[in-house]
Each structure stands twice: as structure tokens, then as C-alpha cells.
Amino acid sequence: MARRNIRVRDSNRIPEVIRNLGSVGKVKVGILDSERQMIAAVHEFGCRIAVTDRMRNYLAAKGLYLKKETQYINIPERSFIRAGWDENEEEIVQKVEDLVNRALENGDSMNDIMETVGLLAKGRLQVYARDLRNPANHPFTTEEKGSSNPLVDTGEMIGSMDYEVES
């Protein structure tokens, strides 16, 4: 019986993708601008602010008279990063799976995948923050800024949301 030389050619990109996976970094999404991180953290986690005489006088001059026994102003938690992620996690994870599968077929770079995922996550978190309505603003705050949307005033905080791919 004659021996035949059989060659198998495999054109999949699995070895290339596995090499790329070894160098994958991470994607950070959120308020990366240090100037806006403090206000973002106040909204994300809430805050309890001690009322000083100076603050009491300032608010009174603006038309908000605090009760004498009021010692703290409580800003409620309005999570837009954690809750926004939870709301969109399934879609984002599915997108990652789709992109990795496409990378196996086409040889797309992991960096391109991370850029795409970062952009998607940023957009979803911005929409979530813009549409958040609860807990509502205090009526005084609504009157002062002319809007009842708790996380939208000038749009700077939501507009400063971004993503960063770290290698």
C-alpha cells in the first residue's frame, strides 16, 4: 500500500488571536477628567454635607431657608456609572463576544476591539445618565437650574465622560 503525504492547511487565525490576547490591556470608561470626578462621585455615591453658617446665609440669600435644626444637606445617590453598566452589561458583553468571534475570522486587532467596546460603553453610560430621573431634584434645585433632570445642568459632566484603552 502506497503512503500518501497529506497536508492540512488551516487558515484560521486562532494562534494570532491568542498571541494578541496575551497583550490585551483594559478599557476604562467613566469620568476620566479629574476636574469633574468630584462632582461625578457625589452623584454616583451621594453625599452628606454639613451645613455651616456661611452656607445657611448663602442659601437664604438665594431664597432657600433651612430649618434651624437642619445640620446636614443630603445629596442622594444617583448612580449613573454602576447602574448604567448594570443596565447595559448584557449588550456590551454580547458585543465583545461578537467582536472576538469576528477577530478569529478576520484577524481584527484586540486594540480595535477594545476601542469599539469603549466607545459603545461610553455612549450607553451617557444615555443612561441623561435619562436618569430618580431620585428627583429638590424643588429648589429644579427652580435654580430650570430643569428637573437630576444629572443634567450644563451637560459638562456627561459630556466629559470618556473611555481610555490601556495597553
Which residues form the domain of 54? 32-79+135-159
More confident residue, 5 or 110: 110
Give me the pLDDT at residue 21, please. Answer: 56
* Alpha helices (runs of H) in the chain, residue ranges in sequence order: 14-21, 34-45, 53-62, 82-106, 110-131, 139-145, 156-159
Q: What does the pLDDT look like over 25-57, one tens digit per residue?
A: 788 999 998 888 998 999 999 999 999 999 999
61-98 per-position pLDDT tens digit: 999 999 999 999 999 999 999 999 999 999 999 998 89
Q: Can you give the pLDDT at residue 18?
A: 58
Number of independent structural domains in the chain: 2
Indicate if 53 and 126 belong to the same structural domain: no
Query: Do 104 and 70 belong together in one domain?
Result: no
Residue type, 98: D
- Contacts of residue 140, defined as CB under 8 A and 6 or more positions apart, other chains included, come to 62, 63, 64
How far is residue 40's CA from residue 30's CA, in Å, rounded to a whole number?
A: 9
